[in-house]
Amino acid sequence: MTTYTEGPRSGTAGAALTRRSVVAGAVGNLIEWYEFGVYAYFATVIAADFFTPRGGGAAEALVRTYASFALAFFFRPVGAFLLGRFGDRFGRRPALVVAVLAMTSATAAIGLLPTYATVGAAAPWLLTALRIVQGLSAGGEFGGAVALMTEYAPAAKRGTYGAWQSLTVALGLLVGAAAATLVTALLTAEQIAVWGWRLPFLAALPMGAVALWLRLRLTESPAFLRARQEPVAEGAGGPEGGGGRGGAEVAPEGWRAQVAEGGSAGRRAGRGVVVVSTVVLGCGRLMAWSAAGYTFLVVLPTYLQQTVGRSPRQALLATVVANLGFAAAILPAGRLSDRMGRRPVMVTGAVLAALAALPLLHVVQDRRSPVWLMGGAVALAGVLVGLLAGPGPAMLAEMFPTRARHTGLGVAYALANAVFSGCAGLLITELVQRTGDPDIPAYYVVVTCALGAVALATLRGDDHRRALRE
């Protein structure tokens, strides 16, 4: 018999625990995206300091900078698997403590690194090594935080509570933009190039100390504690939702026969096959969110400077406005998905992003566009990403059972981000450089969002009403 998890009991104590889990879970994600935002905002400076030997070109250095950026993303699935397995076995709390310690240490260390002018070819390798540490920690961060939030959330509010994890993406990018804006406003270009860019990275230390304190005060998820104490239910194979009906919908055709013939070994193998297939499906459902989010919210400032010719301050302003639109849409989208379902909200976001990508980019490219129109275009782009990001964490949590939730949703999210986010800056920059076509970012969003909409259409309409499976 399949069992289900609910949020904590109602009452003052239960509500306080739920709020604490949301804050402690989300704060680490904020630091992660703060760092990724800062890295993107100072990509041109980092390229000059770490990836430009004598005679090297600026465009070539920027491509190498984004290659380092992408490499860190490809270590996220490794971190998601390692910390996910740790979190599914020993608890969400210890895994989240390890994740925030590693992320904070690596981010602050970047602010202390010697440049190419000081240590030569060792500089880019040192930077890349720290980016790998960040990738490993970030990979385990998302799965643990979302598992914690959704397992604590009341059954009818998983979309709302999970949306807080997505909101910290916007908040992290906005805090990163604010730090970059402050540095560019107070320092000269020469000061920024020499030492000013380091300050936002070093600021991660006090932020990480607060996150660590919050996580050390956490109690473990009740769903995890129950799952650890109870035997695995024989019918709990299908990670797509509640009950045997959900398992039959996604399990490979011969899975039930394999379980019957192979006993416990067959059950383990069968569960593994189903979890892997569900991870692949999860990647497809996250494709639109990952690609559109990084294109509009992270790659945009460098694109506006390098391709469109906007000033750094104009690029930062556009990015701030886009992230404000993104932040404004996330919680309403999460709440709406609790009422209407994950499928209609997320499919709508993917389809609208695909349709709007090219017109919005043309507005941003046109130097004759008034400020209000350009601001409206980037804000709308952020809102469309928010429609995907709001319900996204709950959608993923509902796909996996408690015993595999941290690993499964973390690996799905990390793989989708590695392929469709981590490669976005590298792919767009390289293709624009080779083809001279400034519309490449829009084409990338159109293709990925169209394919993502197809994957999202496979969601069941009542997933938001089902309890999480154990």
pLDDT recorded at residue 262: 47
Q: Which residue has the higher pLDDT, 66 or 85?
A: 85
- The span from the CA of 289 to the CA of 119, in Å, is 39
pTM of this prediction? 0.79
How open is the CA angle 149-400-348, to the nearest 5 degrees? 75
Residue 74 to residues 135, 314, 417, Cα–Cα distance (Å)? 7, 31, 8
* Confidence check: pLDDT of 32 > 60: yes
Lowest-confidence segment of 69-73, 94-98, 347-351, 456-460 by average pLDDT: 69-73
pLDDT recorded at residue 81: 94
Burial of 261 (0-12, 13-18, 19+ CB in 10 A): exposed
* Confidence check: pLDDT of 255 > 80: no
Nearest one of 103, 82, 89 to 27, comparing CA atoms? 103
Burial call 36-52: b when 16+ CB within 10 Å, e when fewer: bbbbbbbbbbbbbbbbb
* Confidence check: pLDDT of 23 > 80: yes
Lowest-confidence segment of 40-54, 287-301, 342-356 by average pLDDT: 40-54
The pLDDT confidence band at residue 443, using thresholds 50, 70 and 90, is very high
- The span from the CA of 125 to the CA of 354, in Å, is 37
Lowest-confidence segment of 14-23, 222-231, 451-460 by average pLDDT: 14-23
Per-residue pLDDT of 112-149, as tens digits, reads 999 888 888 888 888 888 988 988 998 888 898 899 88
Per-residue pLDDT of 262-298, as tens digits, reads 455 555 555 667 778 899 999 999 999 999 988 888 7
In this structure, the strands spanning 4-5 and 468-469 are antiparallel
Nearest one of 349, 335, 413 to 381, comparing CA atoms? 349
pLDDT recorded at residue 466: 82
Q: Which residue has the higher pLDDT, 70 or 341?
A: 341
pLDDT recorded at residue 243: 41
Residue 90 to residues 53, 228, 316, Cα–Cα distance (Å)? 46, 9, 42
Residue 124 to residues 110, 121, 155, 299, Cα–Cα distance (Å)? 11, 6, 47, 21
Structure tokens at 432: 């624009």
Give me the chain's average pLDDT, please.
81
Q: What is the 3-state secondary structure (H, E, C) of the chain?
A: CCCEECCCCCCHHHHHHHHHHHHHHHHHHHHHHHHHHHHHHCHHHHHHHHCCCCCCCHHHHHHHHHHHHHHHHHCHHHHHHHHHHHHHHHCHHHHHHHHHHHHHHHHHHHCCCCCHHHHCCHHHHHHHHHHHHHHHHHHHHHHHHHHHHHHHCCHHHHHHHHHHHHHHHHHHHHHHHHHHHHHHHHCCHHHHHHHHCHHHHHCHHHHHHHHHHHHHCCCCCHHHHHHHHCCCCCCCCCCCCCHHHHHHHHCCCCHHHHHHHHHHHHHHHHHHHHHHHHHHHHHHHHHHHHHHHHHHHHHHHHHHHHHHCCCHHHHHHHHHHHHHHHHHHHHHHHHHHHHHCHHHHHHHHHHHHHHHHHHHHHHHHCCCCCHHHHHHHHHHHHHHHHHHHCCHHHHHHCCCCHHHHHHHHHHHHHHHHHHHCCCHHHHHHHHHHHHCCCCHHHHHHHHHHHHHHHHHCCCCCCHHHCCEEC
* Confidence check: pLDDT of 455 > 90: yes
pLDDT recorded at residue 69: 64
* Confidence check: pLDDT of 356 > 80: yes
Q: Which residue has the higher pLDDT, 331 or 310?
A: 331
| Share of residues in the chain with pLDDT > 70 (%) | 83
pLDDT recorded at residue 382: 93
CATH number of 17-221+263-469: 1.20.1250.20
Query: Cα-flanking dihedrals φ and ψ of residue 469, to 5°?
Result: -85, 145
Give the residue extent of every domain in the chain.
17-221+263-469
The pLDDT confidence band at residue 232, using thresholds 50, 70 and 90, is low
The pLDDT confidence band at residue 13, using thresholds 50, 70 and 90, is very low
pLDDT recorded at residue 307: 74
